[in-house]
Amino acid sequence: MAKKPADTTQIDAAPTKSFFVYMLTKDIPLEQAVLDLVDNSVDGAKRMNAKSLDGRSVNITISATEFRILDNCGGFNKEAARNYAFRFGRPPDSPATPHSIGQFGVGMKRALFKFGNRFVVRSATPEEEWAVDVDVAEWVQDADDWHFSWSEFGTNHDVSGANPGTDIVVDSLRAEVASRFATQQFENSIIGLIKSKHRQFIAGGLSISVNEKHIDATNLYLLLENDLRPGVDNINFGSGAKSVKTRIVVGLGPSSPREAGWYVICNGRVILEADRRDRTGWGLIEEGADRVVIPSYHNQFARFRGIVSFDSKDSAQLPWNTTKTDVDDGHPVWQKTFQRMTEMMRPVITFLNELDKDIDEHTREGSALYDFVNSAAKSSADVHTKKADFRAPKRDSVKKRVPTVKIQYSRPVRDVELLEKELNVSSAKAVGESTFDTVLKRHKKS
């Protein structure tokens, strides 16, 4: 395309394509670029069925020569591709996906340019099929034309009108990308990130694989006993389509420094996990009083678990940054939530301090409180939805449990049935317990 004639009455401030591509991709980690594409597939699956992701799949292939992501999540039509999907940023009139996680309108383009010098995108809905095939180096050379051209969709592809979805292939990989894609370490990193960041969607039925390795869902567990209960609060901000529902859950989990801390989730997408920075309240000092409200993290708090879930129909209302790697700590929803987080965190920290004192005084083997916590049942954090205060026992209210051992043996059925009748009990287990107690009593007397 010919260069536009110079207009001496104006100053040209338009970006060059090469600079734009460089700035768009410079600061995003390679792993995050992959996650952005998975986010788009999740949103497609949500558009198909907001209540269940069963039957939806995302298959990722990573190698030194190619990146590919293939899904059966409904695809998107030509109008969406022409007017919205390939725009740099999300136009205000773009159709919204309720409770979406691909909010900022840069993820797909940023990933495509980050990975390589050529990409092919094919997408199909039940009504239509389309494709684009872009040589990035060639596209960058034409400074004035920012459009992509349609290409032939072709035949015998994994997506079609009968199997709606999107298929993205990037080849001619950048040298630094190809070298990382070739490593087992990068594959393992992507699997681990998808497992943690998309755990809610995987648990909801979405099938995700990387290099044909299926990814299972993970879970966040809280300990639960009669006198040990998580604290829960539900807070609503705003109203209507722009409202944000917030749930805060605090409690104890299995002792694990790697898993301890705060988890922040926006529309089902995990933003922070096991966070132990001052941004989530650790090391909080009361302003003007020089008083520690929340101590800095130490391994005595390895059982602390805090989960904050934000949900909004309009994802622009959520307190996350553009790369979905951190919270926006200046966001009013976060600021108000943060205050409640630290309030709910305090009694859990107090209990963990008491537990630490009990262990110091009695050792782990002799601590009744440690015994109590260590034998508590695990429950999924997702089931705790009803408002409640955190509850834990006092140090002097817990008695040391008598160690027990399970005894198993077999005897003829007719003999066991005879003793059931003679001892007036109704099970083989009861026969064993009754006969044991009788013999024990006899020997204790002697």
Is residue 302 pLDDT above 90, yes or no?
Answer: yes
CATH no. for 17-214: 3.30.565.10
pTM: 0.82
The CATH-assigned architecture of domain 221-397 is 2-Layer Sandwich (3.30)
CA angle 309, 314, 317 (to 5 degrees): 65
Higher local confidence (pLDDT), 156 or 437:
437
Residues with Cβ within 8 Å of residue 324, at least 6 apart in sequence: 32, 35, 36, 39, 101, 266, 269, 271
Q: What is the mean pLDDT of residues 88-108?
A: 71
Q: How much is the pLDDT for 289?
A: 59
pLDDT digits (tens, 9 = 90+) for 33-74: 999 999 999 999 999 988 899 999 999 999 999 999 999 999
What's the pLDDT at 7?
66
Asked whether residue 104 carries a pLDDT value surpassing 60, the answer given is: no
When pLDDT is cut at 50, 70 and 90, the band that residue 8 belongs to is confident
Residue 295 reports pLDDT greater than 80: yes
How is the chain split into domains, by residue range? Answer: 17-214, 221-397, 413-445
Average pLDDT, the chain: 90
Q: What is the pLDDT of residue 14?
A: 72
- Per-residue pLDDT, averaged over 196-225, amounts to 94
**pLDDT for position 1:** 44
> Model confidence over 378-437: pLDDT tens digits?
999 999 999 999 999 998 888 776 667 888 889 999 999 999 888 888 899 989 989 998
* Model confidence at 188: pLDDT above 50: yes
HSE of 269 in the Cβ direction (CA atoms, 13 Å)?
A: 29
End-to-end CA distance of the chain: 107
Which phi and psi angles does 201 have, rounded to 5°?
-75, -40
Mean pLDDT of 85-108: 71
The most confident of the ranges 86-95, 98-107, 180-189 is 180-189
pLDDT at 6: 60
422 Cβ neighbours under 8 A, 6+ residues apart: none
Residue 275 and residue 330: Cα distance in Å, rounded? Answer: 18
Picking from 86-100, 302-316, 392-406, which range would have the lowest pLDDT averaged per residue?
Answer: 86-100
